[in-house]
């Protein structure tokens, strides 16, 4: 396991949780498909940001 993968996974999970919480707060009545799309896109964006933060190139 790479050294930054745990930090990447934790950051991505936290990012997804925050985005889903904010979307549920501002848009409470959304369909299941919209919730899946929001969480999927936030996982993609959170993974990209986490990769930039936690990738250690040597």
Count of CA atoms in the C-beta half-sphere (13 A) of 39: 13
pLDDT score at 43: 96
Instruction: Say if CB 47 and CB 12 are below 8 A apart.
Output: yes
Structure confidence at residue 58 (pLDDT): 47
Which residues in the chain show pLDDT less than 70? 1-4, 56-58
- The helix (H) or strand (E) run that includes residue 54 is helix 32-54
Q: Report d(CA 13, CA 8) in Å as an integer.
A: 9
Helix (H) or strand (E) holding 24: helix 5-26
DSSP label at residue 37: H
């Amino acid at each position: 396991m790479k050294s930054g993968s745990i930090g990447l996974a934790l950051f991505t999970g936290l990012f997804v949780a925050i985005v889903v919480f904010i979307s549920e707060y501002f848009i409470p009545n959304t369909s299941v498909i919209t919730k899946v799309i929001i969480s999927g896109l936030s996982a993609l964006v959170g993974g990209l940001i986490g990769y930039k933060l936690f990738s250690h190139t040597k």
